[in-house]
Amino acid sequence: MLSGLGVGPGDERVYRALLAAPGSTPAELAAATGLTEARVRRHAASLAGLGLLTGAEGEAGDAGDVGPVNTEDEAGAAGDARLTPAPPDVALEVLALRRQEEIAHARLAAAGLAEEFRAGRLRGGSSPVQLLRGREAIAQQFFQTQQMAKSEILILDKPPYVVEPLRRQDTVQRERLDKGLRYRAIYDQAGLDGPGRVEATRDLAARGEESRVLADVPLKLVVADRKVALVPFVLPSEEEILVLQQSALLDGLIALFDLLWQRATPLWPAGPVAHDTLSPDDELLLAHLRAGLTDSAIARRLGVAQRTVERRMSRIMAVLGVRTRFQAGVRTTALYGHEDCGRPGSGLPPLPGLTER
pLDDT digits (tens, 9 = 90+) for 93-146: 888 888 778 777 777 777 667 666 656 655 555 567 888 887 778 888 888 889
Please report the pLDDT score of residue 124 as a whole number: 52
Q: For residue 297, what are the contacts with CB-CB under 8 A and spacing of at least 6?
A: 193, 288
Residue 353 is predicted with a pLDDT of 39
The top-scoring range by mean pLDDT among 8-12, 112-116, 128-132, 285-289 is: 8-12
Q: What is the pLDDT of residue 169?
A: 72
* Mean pLDDT (whole number) for 237-245: 79
Q: What CATH code is assigned to 275-336?
A: 1.10.10.10
129-133/182-188 β-pairing: unpaired
Whether the per-residue pLDDT at 258 is higher than 70: the answer is yes
**pLDDT above 50 (res 344):** no
The reply to whether omega before 68 is within 30° of 0 (cis) is no
> In whole numbers, what is the pLDDT of the chain averaged over residues?
74
pTM as predicted: 0.51
pLDDT at 337: 53
Let me know: does 46 contact 36? Beta carbons within 8 Å.
Answer: no
pLDDT at 356 over 50: no
Please choose, from the candidates 134, 144, 131, the residue with its C-alpha nearest in 3D space to the C-alpha of residue 172. 144
How high is the pLDDT of residue 254? 93
- What Å distances lie between residue 295 and 134, 307, 309, CA to CA? 40, 9, 6
The pLDDT, as a whole number, for residue 229 is 93
CB atoms within 10 A of CB 291: 25
Phi-psi region of 50 (alpha: psi -120 to 50; beta: other; left: phi over 0): alpha
CATH architecture of 129-266: 2-Layer Sandwich (3.30)
The separation between CA 8 and the C-alpha centre of its own chain, rounded to angstroms, equals: 28
Query: In this predicted model, what pLDDT tens digit does every residue of 319-342 receive, in sequence order?
Result: 777 676 656 665 665 555 544 443
- Rounded alpha-carbon distances, angstroms, from residue 179 to 172, 176, 184, 185, 224: 11, 5, 15, 17, 15
Q: Where are the domains of the chain?
A: 1-54+83-126, 129-266, 275-336
What's the mean pLDDT in 268-290? 65
Whether the Cβ atoms of residue 333 and residue 339 lie closer than 8 Å to each other: yes
Ranking 45-49, 160-164, 314-318, 338-342 by mean pLDDT, the lowest is 338-342
Please provide the CATH number assigned to the domain covering 1-54+83-126.
Answer: 1.10.10
Would you say the CATH fold of 275-336 matches that of 1-54+83-126? yes
More confident residue, 62 or 163: 163
Q: Residue 163: is its pLDDT beyond 60? A: no
Q: Over the chain, what HEC string results? A: CCHHHCCCHHHHHHHHHHHHCCCCCHHHHHHHHCCCHHHHHHHHHHHHHHCCEEEEECCCCCEECCCCCCCHHHHHHCCCCEEEECCHHHHHHHHHHHHHHHHHHHHHHHHHHHHHHHHHHHHCCCCCEEEEECHHHHHHHHHHHHHHCCCEEEEEECCCCCCCCHHHHHHHHHHHHHCCCEEEEEEEHHHHCCCCHHHHHHHHHHCCCEEEEECCCCCCEEEECCCEEEEECCCCCCCEEEEECCCHHHHHHHHHHHHHHHHCEECCCCCCCCCCCCCHHHHHHHHHHHCCCCHHHHHHHHCCCHHHHHHHHHHHHHHHCCCCHHHHHHHHHHHCCCCCCCCCCCCCCCCCCCCCC
pLDDT for residue 189? 81
pLDDT of amino acid 223: 95
